[in-house]
Amino acid sequence: MVVAEASGARRTVSIGNDSNAGRQGAGVGITARAARLTALLGIAALVAACGSSGGAADSAAPTASGPTTASRSPSSPSPSGPTTPASAPLRAGERFLDLTIPKAYEPVAPNGGKDEYRCFLLDPKLTADTFVTGVQVLPGRPAIVHHAIVFRVAPGDVPGAQAADVRDPGTGWTCFGDAGIQGRNGAQAVRSLDSAPWLAAWAPGGGESVFGAGTGVRLAVGSRLVLQVHYNLRAGATPDRSGLRLRLASGRLALRPLETMLLVAPVELPCPSGQSGPLCDRENAVLDLMHRFGPEAGTTVAGLQLLCDGTLGAVRAGPTQHCDRRVQQPIVVRAVAGHMHLLGRSIKVDLDPGTAKARTLLNRAVWDFDNQRATPLPRPVRVGPGDTLRVTCTHDAGLRRLVPELQSEQPRYVTWGEGTSDEMCLGIVIDTRS
């Protein structure tokens, strides 16, 4: 079911080169005032919220192997740890590296919620610059691991990650939204939408992502990785030791570096007709969101309105929302993915919509939460400066009565949020650049 879009066109904004940061006008650039407000509103919280990603080559995007039994005898993991899964054969010059959370962690949802986001710092102990050519997230407790994202941590940001780890008792640290590493300014947060520090992600149905031949993600010597795990605790908490399997190749190889661009749009989904309750009021719902995840959750909702509508008022509620972004530099799109939660109906990513050269890069007409893999494009698509990328999502509040995980939840106005009962509209574009 696809519901007609809410009336009113959204404003196009540009996020990219610094030289465009102060230009004004719909479809021209994000204004200096908007850039300042975005920083103040914590737009960084939505940059790395959740989703799935991968990489691609000139002729192919990442391939994903589904859940399988081990291709070699697994080591004897702890009850909370991952088993060694089957992986595609190594290509010439590649090697595997397995990393695991240092110590089992038993998640605890804060403030009476049912979700915790926890970040764990992993050290690949690189002695030279290295390309990552494939990634597999290994959930230790699939029953409670809702999804996981792997972030790159540049050598200069490692002290901030280590400080976050030290400040929070226990293994890892709480990190709603992004990896929770201090030291990034607002301009960096905005630019990171165009060049996100994502390395890969896992969601139900995901397997190994093997990047296409001739491509990889470069890690500088001294880099670390952050594994962010979203734990959903509706069925209770158990200790977890999730991990990663990295496919690595020498940094001396002439591989084309992969980048990740994030396309975000608001979620403004009212209670359906015939349902009522205190959380059907938008203000109450946002306050509840902030109670569960902190004030950053509310500022993210406001930041999305500013980013896509150019205003903090006049919210356009409705089941379908979209947001446009003007591309600032030449890219070659190789794969596209989308992310929503359990009320999702459909998601699309379009190039230059409404023009003679319009084309659809991703069309999940029937959203399947259990299959969030990146979709390789049959042929890479070149996108130039001035082209527009649009993400469009349709959600259905009526699904709350049908999805077992949500049937016990009270009716609510749904916005962008971190919890399973909240929603997202996120397009993920995997590309290479000149």
- Domain housing 146: 91-256
The enclosing domain of 200 has a CATH number of: 2.60.120.310
pTM (predicted TM-score): 0.71
Examine the domain organization and report whether 185 and 329 are in the same domain: no
Residue 143 has phi, psi (to 5 degrees) of -65, -25
21: three-class secondary structure by DSSP: coil
What pLDDT sits at residue 408?
A: 83
Query: Does any domain span residue 147?
Result: yes
What mean pLDDT, rounded, does the chain reach?
79
What pLDDT sits at residue 250?
A: 97
What pLDDT sits at residue 312?
A: 79
Examine the domain organization and report whether 116 and 222 are in the same domain: yes
End-to-end CA distance of the chain: 40
Examine the domain organization and report whether 203 and 304 are in the same domain: no
Q: Residue 7, class by beta-carbon neighbours within 10 Å (0-12 exposed, 13-18 middle, 19+ buried)? A: exposed
Examine the domain organization and report whether 220 and 283 are in the same domain: no
Examine the domain organization and report whether 289 and 307 are in the same domain: yes
What pLDDT sits at residue 79?
A: 53
Examine the domain organization and report whether 364 and 216 are in the same domain: no
What pLDDT sits at residue 431?
A: 93
Q: Which of 231, 256, 281 is the endpoint of a domain?
A: 256
Query: Does any domain span residue 56?
Result: no
Query: Does any domain span residue 252?
Result: yes
Examine the domain organization and report whether 249 and 356 are in the same domain: no
The tally of domains found in the chain comes to 2
Q: Which of 199, 227, 256 is the endpoint of a domain?
A: 256
What pLDDT sits at residue 123?
A: 97
Query: Does any domain span residue 417?
Result: yes
Examine the domain organization and report whether 298 and 310 are in the same domain: yes
DSSP letter, residue 284 = H
Cα separation of 227 and 171, whole Å?
12
Cα separation of 346 and 289, whole Å?
24
72-82 pLDDT, tens digit per residue, is: 333 334 456 66
Examine the domain organization and report whether 226 and 265 are in the same domain: no
Examine the domain organization and report whether 241 and 347 are in the same domain: no
- Report mean pLDDT in 10-residue bins for the chain, 434 residues: 31 30 30 32 33 35 38 40 74 96 90 83 97 94 88 93 92 77 51 77 80 92 95 88 96 93 95 94 96 89 88 88 94 92 96 97 91 85 97 96 85 90 93 88
Examine the domain organization and report whether 265 and 183 are in the same domain: no
Query: Does any domain span residue 289?
Result: yes
Examine the domain organization and report whether 240 and 349 are in the same domain: no
Q: Which of 219, 240, 256 is the endpoint of a domain?
A: 256
Q: How many residues does the chain have?
A: 434
Cα separation of 396 and 167, whole Å?
40
Cα separation of 126 and 165, whole Å?
20
Pair 54, 333: CB distance under 8 Å: no
